Amino acid sequence: MGKVDKEAFASEFYSRQIILKELGWIGQRKLAKAKVAVVGVGGLGTASSLYLALAGVGHLRLIDQDTVEMPNLHRQILYSMDDLHYPKVEVAAKRLMKLNPLLKAEPISENVNPSNVERLLSGVDLVVDGLDNMFTRYLLNRACIKLGIPYVVGAAIGIEGNLAVFMPPEN
């Protein structure tokens, strides 16, 4: 898709949000330049990455070491039976780029740990946490503070959920 084709495609693809006075073309172009890391591509991460991709975020770095398993299929919306036993990030990246051809999805099949967390988050504008364990959340939080990256944390347990946004250096 050439530059002219991309602009024409984006104009139609995002037409319903470009008309919003709060967003417009200026906001849409900012989204297109944004680089977001989604850490954990399970229940929360698949939904988050889907809506970020469809909203027009230009680059998604998908980080998760898991493979697609049967118990994931009823709640992790990017996966199907054909994806069983494949790396979640590979499947998610391909599916998201099919849904939005303007997206660059970067799959990273790694477990986040103290020795790689800063490297994995380097160069992103925002981190979205779709994790299910506190240890890794603390690692992400510390790295985001150090790197000055805004950090969005979501969690769901049973039928309850919560969401928090942390904006360094304030918190």
Beta-carbon count within 10 A of 24 CB:
12
Residue type, 149: I
Residue found by looking up tokens 């944004």 in the block: 34
| 16 and 39 in a common domain | no
d(CA 94, CA 90): 6
List the one residue out of 88, 102, 112 whose CA is nearest residue 34: 102
CATH number of the domain encompassing residue 153: 3.40.50.720
pTM of the model: 0.94
| 84 and 132 in a common domain | yes
Residue type, 106: E
Q: Is the pLDDT of residue 2 over 90?
A: no
Residue 150: give the domain boundaries: 34-166
User: What pLDDT, on the 0 to 100 scale, is given for residue 3?
Assistant: 64
Q: Is the pLDDT of residue 48 over 70?
A: yes
| 122 and 92 in a common domain | yes
* Average confidence (pLDDT) over 151-167: 91
